[in-house]
Amino acid sequence: MDFKKIRKSLSRFLAWLGLNLCSLMIRVIPDGCLYAFARNIASLAFIFAVKQRRIALESLRIAFGSEKSQGEIEKIAKDCFIYMAKSAVELMYLMDKPLVLKERVEITGRDNLDKALALGRGVILISAHFGNFPLLLGRLAQDGYQVGGIMRPMRDARVEKIFLEKRNKFGVKTIYSQPRNECVNNTISALRNNELVFIPVDQNFGTGGVFVNFFGMKAATATGPVILAQRTKAALVPCFIIRQPGDRHKIIFEPALQLIEGKDPQDTILVNIQALTDIIESYIRKYPAEWGWIHRRWKSKPG
165-185 pLDDT, tens digit each: 878 888 899 999 989 899 999
Query: What is the three-class DSSP state of 217?
Result: strand
pLDDT band at 7 (very low <50, low <70, confident <90, very high): low
Structure confidence at residue 15 (pLDDT): 61
Exposure string (b/e) for 129-162, b if CB count within 10 Å is 16 or more? bbbbbbbbbbbbbbeebbbbbbbeebebeebbeb
Structure confidence at residue 168 (pLDDT): 86
Read off the pLDDT of residues 126-143 as tens digits, 9 standing for 90 and up. 999 999 999 999 999 999
Look at 51 and 24; give whichever has higher pLDDT: 51
Structure confidence at residue 155 (pLDDT): 73
Instruction: Evaluate if pTM is beyond 0.85.
Output: yes
Q: Which residues have C-beta within 8 Å of that of residue 177, sequence separation ≥ 6?
A: 150, 151, 152, 153, 183
Structure confidence at residue 5 (pLDDT): 61
Q: Is the pLDDT of residue 11 over 70?
A: no
CATH 2.40.50 fits 3-290, yes or no: no
User: Considering the chain, what is the average pLDDT of its residues?
Assistant: 91
Read off the pLDDT of residues 55-94 as tens digits, 9 standing for 90 and up. 999 999 999 988 999 999 999 999 999 999 999 899 888 8
Gap between the Cα atoms of 122 and 185, Å rounded: 14
Structure confidence at residue 19 (pLDDT): 61
Q: Over range 247-272, report the average pLDDT.
A: 96
- 291 contacts 284 by C-beta, under 8 angstroms: yes
pLDDT band at 230 (very low <50, low <70, confident <90, very high): very high
Structure confidence at residue 9 (pLDDT): 61
Domain ranges of the chain: 3-290
Read off the pLDDT of residues 148-166 as tens digits, 9 standing for 90 and up. 999 888 777 777 887 788 7
Gap between the Cα atoms of 137 and 156, Å rounded: 23
What single string gives the DSSP state of each residue in 61-121?
HHHHTTTS-HHHHHHHHHHHHHHHHHHHHHHHHHTT-HHHHHHHEEEE-HHHHHHHHTTSS
